[in-house]
């Protein structure tokens, strides 16, 4: 493009030169607009619609954009399809800079345009892609359908066809012949024809109604499938230990362990619990590690698979039975284990007391500490890093306790109730 961009400076001053440049403009823009090469780039659910648009049902190739490129060096269009988070910003800037010019950006969906449903109380979503890179066309919707994407593509084509070699990508005033989109023209013609036909159609409708007074227009009815019968859930081979036996085993080894929200439970009440809801134990902090080891090593339990670990910040600790309850701490660490040998699933939670921290540094300080379960289940590694990253709970003995989702420089812990961030917009209602 280097040479052709120098053309106006040389040719414009010549007699008739402006017309030649205009003609070249038209040809170049026509070719460019009808052979857009989008980058393969999708960050969230809108990308599903973008992908659907390239499938045979919608067939984006009808608009000359058929080859989604895997590298920015071979693309000239980014369709921003999906939520853009802070960690994506540098990547997106780099991709945009790697596109050869002229290059274009379509912002598809409300997340990309403004942050969409994530605009309030959110610290990680970029509130508008045009804060990072220039955007040519905005397509609202959540998600916009493929037809809307095509409409955006046609708008972009119109924009490209108004560009000029004299001032590439910016000036739309130098274009001498206004571009008329054939699709817009066809839609206008169709609308005009409909308007012309309307009096005749109205007359025919009235005549038909008079001649057929009993006619009832067909009304589509929704056909619902017959309801599925309630099938009893079989106990099955992998159901594991019955609740009562499991409860007895645990209580015999750890008398201080109780059931969550059912602290006075005994064998009879546990037997009556639904068999498909796992037991949820509350463990005193001092017995956390020994209890976890017991669950793994006791052959009748054999909870060998680390299923999940998460935490809850109650802010005000729940104390349904008075301040002496073992739940009366701000954080609960919740662990889920599965026995691949027997098939049973067990939850247990440990309430964690808050560390003594000066008030002015509470929001950015680690507030609770608990031993790591990585030596027992290596699969606990990432889960504990996530709980550390989101809640500021330290896992002593963890081999690599770093943030998992947020950057290392991030201040605070987003899932704590007292978390605030400069980028957060407070919901006004
Ligand atoms: S606009 Fe809606 S569909 Fe698109 S990425 Fe956001 S939430 Fe998903």
Confirm whether 93 is domain-assigned: yes
CATH number at residue 23: 3.40.50.12280
On whether both 260 and 333 belong to a single domain, the answer is: yes
| C-alpha triplet 421, 423, 428: angle, nearest 5° | 90
Nearest CA to ligand 1 atom 3: 143
Distance in angstroms between the alpha carbons of the first and the last residue of the chain: 53
Confirm whether 284 is domain-assigned: yes
Q: Determine the distance separating the centroid of ligand 1 and the alpha carbon of 189, expressed in angstroms.
A: 34
Q: Determine the distance separating the centroid of ligand 1 and the alpha carbon of 155, expressed in angstroms.
A: 21
- Is 117 close to ligand 1, i.e. is its CB under 6 Å away? yes
The mean predicted confidence, pLDDT, of the chain is 85
On whether both 154 and 243 belong to a single domain, the answer is: no
- For residue 44, pLDDT beyond 60: yes
Confirm whether 223 is domain-assigned: no
Domain that holds residue 249: 237-396
Nearest-atom number in ligand 1 for the CA of 109 is 1
Give the per-residue pLDDT at 79. 95
Nearest CA to ligand 1 atom 6: 111
- For residue 399, pLDDT beyond 80: yes
CATH number at residue 289: 3.30.460.80
Give the per-residue pLDDT at 20. 84
Number of structural domains, the chain? 2
On whether both 161 and 259 belong to a single domain, the answer is: no
110, 139, 148, best to mutate for ligand 1 pocket (most atoms within 8 Å of CB): 110
On whether both 244 and 391 belong to a single domain, the answer is: yes
On whether both 147 and 255 belong to a single domain, the answer is: no
Give the per-residue pLDDT at 322. 46
Give the per-residue pLDDT at 146. 94
- For residue 130, pLDDT beyond 50: yes
Would you say the C-alpha torsion 134, 140, 144, 150 has a positive or negative sign?
negative
Nearest CA to ligand 1 atom 5: 82
Confirm whether 288 is domain-assigned: yes
User: Does the reported pTM lie above 0.95?
Assistant: no
Confirm whether 227 is domain-assigned: no
- Is 65 close to ligand 1, i.e. is its CB under 6 Å away? no
Question: Percentage of residues in the chain with pLDDT exceeding 70?
Answer: 89
Confirm whether 28 is domain-assigned: yes
Confirm whether 218 is domain-assigned: no
3-state secondary structure 151-172: HHHHHHHHHHCCCCCCCCCCCC
On whether both 27 and 176 belong to a single domain, the answer is: yes
- Is 82 close to ligand 1, i.e. is its CB under 6 Å away? yes
Give the per-residue pLDDT at 394. 94
**How many whole angstroms from its chain centre is CA 62?**
29
On whether both 166 and 261 belong to a single domain, the answer is: no
For 268-320, write each residue's pLDDT tens digit.
888 888 877 889 999 998 999 999 999 999 999 999 999 999 999 987 655 55
């Amino acid at each position: 493009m280097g040479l052709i961009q120098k053309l106006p400076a040389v040719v414009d001053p010549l007699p008739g030169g402006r017309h030649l440049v205009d003609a070249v403009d038209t040809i170049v823009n026509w070719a460019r607009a009808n052979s857009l090469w989008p980058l393969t780039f999708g960050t969230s659910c809108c990308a599903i619609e973008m992908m659907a648009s390239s499938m045979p049902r919608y067939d984006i190739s009808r608009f000359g954009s058929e080859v989604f490129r895997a590298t920015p060096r071979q693309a000239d269009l980014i369709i921003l399809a999906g939520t853009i988070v802070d960690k994506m910003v540098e990547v997106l800037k780099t991709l945009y800079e790697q596109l050869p010019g002229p290059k274009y950006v379509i912002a598809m969906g409300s997340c990309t345009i403004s942050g969409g449903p994530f605009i309030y109380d959110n610290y990680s979503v970029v509130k508008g892609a045009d804060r990072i890179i220039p955007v040519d066309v905005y397509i609202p919707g959540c998600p916009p359908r493929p037809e809307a994407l095509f409409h955006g593509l046609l708008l972009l084509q119109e924009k490209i066809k108004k560009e000029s070699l004299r001032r590439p990508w910016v000036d739309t005033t130098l274009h001498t012949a206004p571009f008329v989109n054939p699709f817009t023209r066809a839609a206008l013609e169709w609308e005009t024809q409909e308007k012309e036909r309307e009096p005749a159609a109205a007359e025919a409708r009235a005549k038909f109604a008079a001649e057929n007074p009993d006619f009832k227009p067909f009304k589509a009815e929704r056909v619902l499938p017959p309801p599925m019968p309630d099938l009893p859930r079989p106990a099955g081979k992998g159901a594991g230990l019955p609740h009562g036996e499991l409860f007895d085993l645990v209580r015999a080894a750890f008398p201080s362990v109780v059931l969550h929200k059912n602290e006075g439970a005994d064998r009879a009440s546990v037997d009556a619990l639904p068999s498909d809801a796992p037991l949820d134990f509350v463990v005193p902090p001092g017995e956390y590690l020994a209890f976890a080891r017991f669950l793994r090593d006791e052959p009748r339990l054999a909870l060998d698979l680390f299923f999940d670990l998460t935490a809850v910040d109650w802010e005000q600790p729940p104390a349904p039975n008075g301040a002496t309850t073992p739940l009366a701490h701000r954080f609960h660490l919740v662990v889920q284990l599965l026995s691949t040998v027997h098939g049973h699933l067990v939850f247990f939670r440990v309430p964690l007391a808050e560390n003594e921290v000066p008030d002015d540094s509470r929001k950015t300080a680690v507030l609770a500490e608990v031993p790591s379960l990585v030596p027992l289940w290596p699969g606990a590694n990432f889960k504990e890093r996530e709980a550390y990253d989101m809640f500021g709970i330290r896992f002593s003995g963890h081999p690599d306790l770093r943030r998992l989702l947020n950057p290392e420089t991030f201040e605070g812990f987003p899932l704590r109730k007292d978390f605030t961030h400069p980028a957060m917009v407070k919901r006004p209602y």
